[in-house]
Each structure stands twice: as C-alpha cells, then as structure tokens.
Amino acid sequence: MEAADSQNGTVGRDEARVSYQVPNTLLSVQNIYKSFGSNEVLKGISLDLCESQVLALIGGNGAGKSTLMKIIMGIYSADSGEITIAGKKVDISNPKAALEHSIYMVPQEPMLFPNMTVRENVVIGFDEGASELESRLKSVMAEIGWSLDLDCKASTLSIAEQGMVEILRGLMRNPKVLILDEPTSALTFDEVQSLLACVEELQKKGIGIIYITHRLSEVFEIGTTVAILRDGIVTTQGNVFEFTRDDLVRGLLPEDASVDGATTGDSACEIDYSQEPVLRVRDFSGYGFSDVSFDIYPGEIVGLAGVVGAGRTEMATTIFGRDKVLGGSVTLNGQDITGRKTRQVISMGLNYVPEDRFNDGLYRIRGVAENTTSALLSSSRMGRFFLNSKEEERVSQSYVDRFRTKVTGLDQEVGGLSGGNQQKTVIGRAFSTSPKVVILDEPTRGIDAAARGDVYAVLQELRDTGVSILLISSDMEEIVELSDRALVMYQGRIVQEFGKDQIVQENLTAAAFGVYQADAKAVTD
C-alpha cells in the first residue's frame, strides 16, 4: 500500500477502489492455448475479471494481448481452454455470441463505418425502435458527460473521438465486460484525461474493464488489478497497490534477464567513433516524430527502442522517402538524402526492412528470387532492359545460402514460407542493393525463437562486412543482445541514448515507457 501511494500519490482513490471490490467474477478465462502454425502465441493463459475491476493488462509487442482479446471476442477460437461468464462455461464462436454475453471490445484501431453518422454508428445492430434507442443514447451520453455531434460523419472525427464513439457503442450494449485495447495510444494529453475519467465512471457502475496499455503510469492511475503478459504467459498478476513501477518493469523482462544486466559482450566489435559517421540525422521532423538527431558510425549496430506509436517507424519511413519531411536533414556518407525519393535513397546506399512485413515487404504470391531482387530492379545490375535471370538467380541463391533460408526452390512462393524465412527473404532484399546503412524495423516480430537466432546471426555477419544497422525493436532483449549503442524514442522524440555498458533491459524499458530516472548508471545529457 505504502509503495503504491508513494508511486502515484492517489491514496483516496485506492481506498475507494478497495471498497468496490466484490468477489463477483464476471469473466474468467482458463488455460487458453493458441498457436498460429508453428508459432505458439498463448501458452495457458488464465485471468479473472470481477465487477468494478479495472484489469490493466500490459506486455510487450507479440506478448499475446491482442490474440487473447480476439479469442474473448470470438474473432479467433482458442486451441484449448475455457471461457466462463458469470460462472457458466460459454462457447464464443463469433463476435455476435460475445455481444450476446455482454462483452464489448473497443479495438485498438476503431472499427467505425466511416461514411455513416456518429448516431448510426452507435445504434446499428440493435433491434429496438429508433426513439427508444435515441433516448437511451441520450441518457448514456448524459451519464458519462460527453458531448459529441451525433450527426457528423465518422470519417471526420479525430482518432480520439472515434475511440469515444466505440466506447459509446459498447455502453449502449449494457456491457458487463468492456475491453479497451490501448485506447490512449493515439490520444493527446487532455483526451487521455477525459478517457480515464470515463473509465472511472464505468467502474463505479460495476462494469468490469480490461484495459490494455503501454503506459505504466496509467496502470497506477486507473488499474485496480494488473496482469503482465510475456511470450504467451501471465508472468505477474495481482492488485495494483501491491506493485511498484520497478516490479512491473521487472515483470516485463524475460525471466533469465538479470536486472543489473550484463550484456553478451562478445557480440560487439570495437567501433571507431573517431571516423566520420555514415548516417547523420539532424533536427529531423516529420509526421509522428520531431527534432530527432543522431549519428551512426560505420560498422555499428544502433538499437532504437520505444513502444508502438513512439514514432520510430514514421521516422524510418520518412528517411526512406515514403512521407513528407517537415524539417531537419539526413546525410548519408556526406550526401544529403533529405526528402529524396525511395528509389534514390536506395541507390545512394540506404535500405529499409519494413515493420509491416505483409503489407510493405512481401510479394506473397511470387517466388523467393523475385522477392529478393525486387529492390534491384531500378539498378542496372539486373540488366538494362531485359531481365538478367542469371544475375537474379545468383543474387537470390547467394542470400538463400548465406542466410540458410529454407526453400524448396527459388521459385517457391514466399507466402508459403515460415515467418522466419520470409523475414530472411526481406532482409536479403534490403542487403542486395549493397547498402551502407540498413534500417531494420522489428525484424523478429512474429517469428519463432530458432529463426530469431538465425536473423541475429545474419545481422552480426552483415555488420562484420562493414554495413551499419539501425535496429528498431520493441523487443528490449534484442536490442541488448545486438546493439553497440541504443537510442530510445518516446512520444516522437529521442529521450535517451545509452552507451554499450548501459544497454540493459531495465533502462531501455523504463525509458521506452517514459519513466527512466537518470541515476548513477545512466548517461545524462
């Protein structure tokens, strides 16, 4: 109790919360298992949610939070395990069934009908009469004290307002369980406050809330209980006031990671920091990030940590010529590449491995060779006009061999490969253009442990050839293992830089969640 109070200083609120807790379990999931192909996402999850509880669910990317919620909503079905609602075992096979059991999820990306009015968005799917719905809607809105223009189109709403409409939709269904999936990730400070106030209102009405978040401060602000998910298991669970911030950070870390953090020293080679940096980014601003400055030296692996939405991907894609530059400069090997077209950026020596492998990286219904050489089509190496199929075969075979990609042939469709082999193909594509700098965005997301090791080996090997790597990752372990230096982004800005000896998961995680406290161990600016 004392610890929690000193952390967030909301004594009164905590007491109030305790008095609300009645042991009336609304929703209980037991031993949920789920795998996609060979990738085990959930390995026996058990959680309970009672009336008036706000269960704060935290965990890194790929920990399985979204998958679990989709199972509760009937979008996926679990491989095994049970869901009980109010003591009765239920079978939720589709979203309709979940709605009938008074569960509603506000998805991370609002699922509104953009061309319909707010009112239509809220009341669609109900069987009651229009006037009855209207009066209920009015009373619900009055209760939570929101004012929304019900007659404007959903497409004109801000993302925060869209989230509010989603919540309204949920409330109209008189839910007993409301799931909020990272509702504040795209909100401004004021909007977050009004949302949190709303959550408290709902809690007072006895609704059980599962609140998924990346922000530890929110856990203390509104959570009554907390659960931490890591690699498909619940690592920590209990009442919020039993935990301190450090406890939560520890829960987010892998078990074998010592908090004091000795790094695998042998992976790094000496970087000569007296050289000219190969990539120099100065006061770089764009949509989603602002005033970013850093250098990357030849042969260096620089980790870029942060949570989803911190602006890392936006920065990388803007460097890569995919979005508008708002200010600052990027210099590659002495050449200014600020605001150049992607094609030019590639030919000047920078390539990018996209975060979203399926939408931005892969040509799923085409072969390995075609995927690997796709970035070479603008250079003359693949022929002037005619396609040099010998060169194509040579290049793609060399990456298949070097990365030990498992394929039945160079014409095998990449859609049929495992996640790890798909990723190796995309990495091969980035390196095929003989770049000086490669930005890898979440290179091991969604791939299994063995393939992850392979990818690490590939990156080490490539670095040894003198290529510099900017490694964007939400997996802190990965950054610890690979980086010579690490940067941390939080809300669109680089908030910390760590030298080799300070790269420990604890520091990275704390900085990524915006709670890093500069003490003796850390570098201060």
Partner 1 sequence: MTRIKQLLTKGQASWNLILIGLLVLEFVVFGAANPKFLRPALLFTSINDNLPVFMIALFVTLVMVTGGIDIQVASLVGLTSITIGVAWQDFGFSIWAAVALAVLICIACGAFSGFLIAYCGVQAMVVTLGGSFLYSGIALLISTLSSTESYQGIGGFPEEFKFIASYQVFGAIPFQLLIYVAMFAIAFILLHKTKYGRKVILTGVNAQAAEFSGINSRLVIMSTYVLSAVAAAIAGIVLTAYLGTAKSDLGGSLTMDIITAVVLGGTLSTGGKGSIIGTALASFAIAFLKFGLPLCFKVGTQYLNIPVGILLVAVIVGRSAASSTGYLSMLRTLVSSKVGNGPKVKA
Partner 2 sequence: MGRIKNLLHARSMSSFAFLVILFLVVGLINPAFLTPSNISACFNTSVVYTLVAVGMAFTLFIGEIDVSVGANLGLVAAVVGSMLRDGQSMGLAIIVGVVIGAMIGLINAWGVAVMKAPSLIFTLGVNGVLRGIVYVYTNGAWVENLPKGFKDFSSVTAVGDLTVYYCATIVLVAVIQLLLVRTKRGRYFHAVGDNAQGATLVGLPTRTTKILAYVICGVMAAIGGIIFCSRIGFVTPASGNGYEMKAIAACVLGGISLLGGVGSVVGSAIGAVIMASISYLLVFMGFSSNYDNAITGIILIVIVVVDALLQRRAIVKNRHARLAARVSSGTEVAAAAMEKAQEGGEA
**Residue ranges in contact with partner 2 by CB under 8 A:** 6-7, 73, 75, 94-96, 99, 105, 107, 111-116, 120, 123-127, 130, 152-153, 155-156, 158-160, 169, 185-189, 287-290, 309-311, 314, 490-493, 495, 514-517, 519
Q: Which among partner 2, partner 1, none contacts residue 452 (Cβ within 5 to 8 A by kind)?
A: none
Nearest to residue 369, comparing CAs of 387, 351, 353?
387
Q: How far apart are the first and last CA of the chain?
A: 35
Based on the shown chain and the rule CB under 8 A, indicate whether residue 386 belongs to the binding site for partner 1: yes
Contact at 8 Å (CB) between 424 and 455?
A: yes
| C-alpha–C-alpha distance, residues 484 and 499, integer Å | 7
Number of residues that bind partner 1 (CB under 8 A): 34
- Return the number of the residue (297 or 490) whose C-beta is nearest partner 2: 490
Q: Is the dihedral of CA 287, 289, 293, 296 positive or negative?
A: negative
Cα 81 to Cα 28, 35, 45, 89: the distances in Å are 11, 13, 8, 11
| C-alpha–C-alpha distance, residues 398 and 391, integer Å | 10
Using the rule CB under 8 A, which residue among 30, 412, 418, 491 binds partner 1?
412
Q: Which residues pair with 239 in a beta bridge?
A: 225
Three-state SS sequence of 221-277: HHCCEEEEEECCEEEEEEEHHHCCHHHHHHHHCCCCCCCCCCCCHHHCCCCCCCCCC
Cα 77 to Cα 173, 241, 336, 525: the distances in Å are 23, 34, 51, 49
As measured in angstroms, the least distance from the Cβ of 207 to partner 2 is 18
Using the rule CB under 8 A, which residue among 125, 327, 415, 466 binds partner 1?
415
Q: Which among partner 1, partner 2, none contacts residue 346 (Cβ within 5 to 8 A by kind)?
A: partner 1
Q: Which among partner 2, partner 1, none contacts residue 320 (Cβ within 5 to 8 A by kind)?
A: partner 1
Q: Which among partner 1, partner 2, none contacts residue 343 (Cβ within 5 to 8 A by kind)?
A: partner 1
Q: Which among partner 2, partner 1, none contacts residue 387 (Cβ within 5 to 8 A by kind)?
A: partner 1
Q: Is the dihedral of CA 246, 247, 250, 252 positive or negative?
A: negative
Using the rule CB under 8 A, which residue among 382, 472, 480, 487 binds partner 1?
382
Considering only residues 329 through 358, tell me which ones interact with partner 1, judged by CB under 8 A. Answer: 342-343, 345-347, 352, 354
Contact at 8 Å (CB) between 118 and 74?
A: no
- Return the number of the residue (222 or 346) whose C-beta is nearest partner 1: 346
| C-alpha–C-alpha distance, residues 351 and 375, integer Å | 9
Q: Which among partner 2, partner 1, none contacts residue 338 (Cβ within 5 to 8 A by kind)?
A: none
Footprint on this chain of partner 1 (rule: CB under 8 A):
320, 322, 342-343, 345-347, 352, 354, 359-366, 370, 374-375, 377-378, 382-383, 385-387, 408-409, 412-413, 415-416, 429
